[in-house]
């Protein structure tokens, strides 16, 4: 059980590399005369759609003597368009985010190329979702936004005020979140739900883990990925390798890895400086794990060729981890709680005061914990008297777990605040036990699923991009397409 799991939607770039959770777009394909002819109807429909948009994109004011639209079409994607205004807004948003994260900015043309390609892939996915009937209604959207605000310890109104203060219209934010949820559901339907894992795969994974050295470690990784288009000719592959070699040349002469990633990488994490994060070697493709195992912190691998890309990896840092879970003994805690959620009508301070009053009643034996939980708690466990069952380390929020671990059996905590609200916690019993065989196999199955999903998601999104009709309408868009092929 994962207690109190929270949906965190983001409106970042999307996409996926071999490391990330979301798929990565393939490079833009050149538009051939045949493709242009066969897609003339979608292109015409897209242009008409752009002219009809009510938000001003492509709109010519009544009575105007000019035939020049206020906005212009940069790219046609099937029967939809990406306008200059939309591209400019995305560039502005990502630039602000990169500066806030202290990521060195790539050249303006490289940034535009990265973002335009991602926007093309997003449009293709959203159109596919629409055709399949994937949608998110306003009620579902409101709940998702409420959870986002709750995770940041804000009310929805506070979140709205903060975004508008930063120059982001809340209506635009809502639609960005809606599209993120739609694309996630589409991927779950098209990729995640089709991943199958056999018992034999789990057995092999566990056997490999047990055969590994007892001392395990994980590596903090950054990457630069130069993608190879599908069905690429030998000449195109040579061009992509030359691009990777140029990156390597600059790195050897002291160039900043994060800036090189933001400028040259085709991975979804490019604009985060190529940061992948901490990874266990056994959860990496073997060729990556082998190359990284030879590095000291700060060193980079030679150019590595995978099925669809050239990679340069950096070992930012490495650290040891606990021994294999199969041999580890863990403490489990049987606990229950009362949760009062923080809302516009119930502040955190009010929730703490209310729970402090309940604790006083419990300490004076004036009430039973399970009765108060059924009456007061806002959690799904209320009907069970707040009983959460047996909890493993990591099953709850860090603040909750820390407070729970400090309690004696039968002791009730002071009010504890987490991102979900304010809790009273009581520990009923504890036990130390070896990690169960079932939990061990579930962990192995999840590790295998993550590995398969990363590869399958990348392949699927590349297919979505390749099937889309894409026509660049501006010199900037054509330049971005040409750069993506190099």
pLDDT in 10s for each residue of the chain, 486 residues: 333 333 333 333 333 343 433 333 333 343 433 343 344 455 555 555 555 443 434 444 444 444 444 678 888 988 888 888 888 888 888 888 788 788 888 888 888 888 898 899 889 989 888 888 888 888 889 988 988 888 888 889 988 998 888 778 888 889 889 988 998 888 888 887 778 888 898 888 888 776 664 567 788 999 999 999 888 899 999 999 999 999 999 999 999 999 999 999 988 788 888 988 888 887 788 889 889 988 999 999 999 998 788 999 999 988 776 543 443 456 789 999 999 998 878 888 899 999 999 999 999 999 999 999 999 999 989 999 999 999 987 788 878 988 899 899 999 999 998 878 899 999 999 987 655 677 778 888 888 888 888 778 888 888 888 888 888 887 655 665 555 555
Exposed / middle / buried, residue 201 (Cβ in 10 Å: 0-12, 13-18, 19+): middle
Distance CA 71, CA 308 (A): 37
Give SS3 for 481. helix
- Residue owning tokens 């591209």: 87
Residues in Cβ contact with 333 at an 8 Å cutoff, skipping those fewer than 6 apart? 390, 391, 404, 405, 427, 429, 430
**CB neighbour burial string for 147-177, b if at least 16 within 10 angstroms, e if fewer:** bbbbeeeebbeebbeeeeeeebebeebbebb
Contact 274, 224 (CB under 8 A): yes
Assigned token pair, 12: 């970042």
C-alpha angle 38-41-43 in degrees, rounded to nearest 5: 95
Distance CA 453, CA 340 (A): 37
Query: Which pTM was predicted?
Result: 0.43
Assigned token pair, 190: 């098209």
Per-residue CA distances from 70 to 41, 51, 96 (Å): 24, 10, 25
Per-residue CA distances from 206 to 203, 211, 326, 444 (Å): 5, 9, 9, 7
């Amino acid at each position: 059980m994962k207690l109190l799991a929270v949906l965190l939607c983001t409106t970042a770039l999307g996409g996926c590399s071999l490391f990330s959770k979301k798929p990565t777009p393939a490079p833009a394909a050149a538009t051939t005369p045949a493709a242009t002819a066969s897609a003339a109807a979608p292109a015409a429909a897209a242009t008409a759609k752009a002219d009809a948009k009510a938000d001003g994109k492509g709109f010519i004011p009544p009575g105007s003597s000019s035939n020049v639209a206020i906005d212009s079409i940069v790219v046609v994607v099937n029967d939809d368009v990406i306008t200059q205004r939309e591209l400019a807004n995305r560039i502005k948003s990502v630039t602000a985010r990169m500066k806030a994260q202290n990521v060195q900015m790539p050249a303006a043309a490289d940034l535009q190329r990265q973002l335009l390609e991602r926007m093309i892939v997003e449009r293709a996915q959203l159109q596919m979702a629409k055709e399949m009937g994937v949608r998110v209604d306003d009620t579902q959207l409101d709940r998702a936004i409420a959870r986002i605000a709750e995770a940041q310890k804000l009310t929805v109104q506070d979140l709205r005020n903060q975004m508008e203060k930063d120059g982001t219209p809340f209506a635009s934010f809502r639609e960005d979140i809606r599209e993120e949820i739609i694309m996630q559901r589409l991927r779950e339907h098209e990729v995640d739900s089709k991943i199958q894992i056999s018992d034999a795969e789990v057995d092999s994974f566990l056997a490999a883990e047990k055969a590994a050295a007892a001392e395990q470690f994980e590596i903090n990784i950054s990457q630069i990925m130069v993608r190879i288009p599908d069905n690429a000719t030998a000449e195109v592959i040579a061009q992509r390798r030359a691009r990777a070699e140029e990156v390597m040349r600059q790195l050897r002469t002291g160039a900043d890895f994060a800036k090189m990633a933001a400028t040259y990488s085709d991975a979804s994490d490019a604009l985060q400086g190529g940061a992948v994060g901490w990874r266990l070697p056994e959860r990496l493709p073997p060729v990556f794990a082998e190359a990284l195992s030879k590095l000291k912190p700060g060193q980079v691998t030679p150019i590595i060729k995978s099925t669809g890309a050239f990679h340069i990896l950096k070992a930012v840092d490495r650290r040891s981890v606990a021994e294999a879970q199969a041999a580890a003994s863990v403490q489990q805690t049987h606990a229950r709680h009362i949760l009062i959620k923080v809302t516009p009508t119930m502040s955190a301070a009010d929730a703490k005061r209310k729970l402090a009053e309940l604790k006083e009643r419990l300490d004076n034996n004036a009430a039973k914990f399970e009765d108060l939980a059924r009456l007061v708690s806002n959690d799904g466990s209320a009907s069970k008297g707040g009983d959460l069952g047996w909890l493993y380390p990591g099953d709850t929020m860090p603040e909750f777990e820390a407070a729970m671990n400090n309690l004696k059996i039968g002791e009730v905590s002071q009010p504890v605040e987490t991102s979900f609200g304010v809790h009273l916690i009581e520990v009923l019993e504890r036990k130390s036990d070896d990690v169960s065989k079932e939990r061990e196999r579930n962990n192995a199955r999840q590790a295998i699923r993550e590995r398969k999903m990363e590869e399958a998601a990348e392949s699927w999104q590349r297919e979505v991009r390749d099937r889309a009709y894409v026509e660049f309408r501006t010199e900037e868009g054509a330049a971005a397409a040409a750069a993506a092929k190099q």
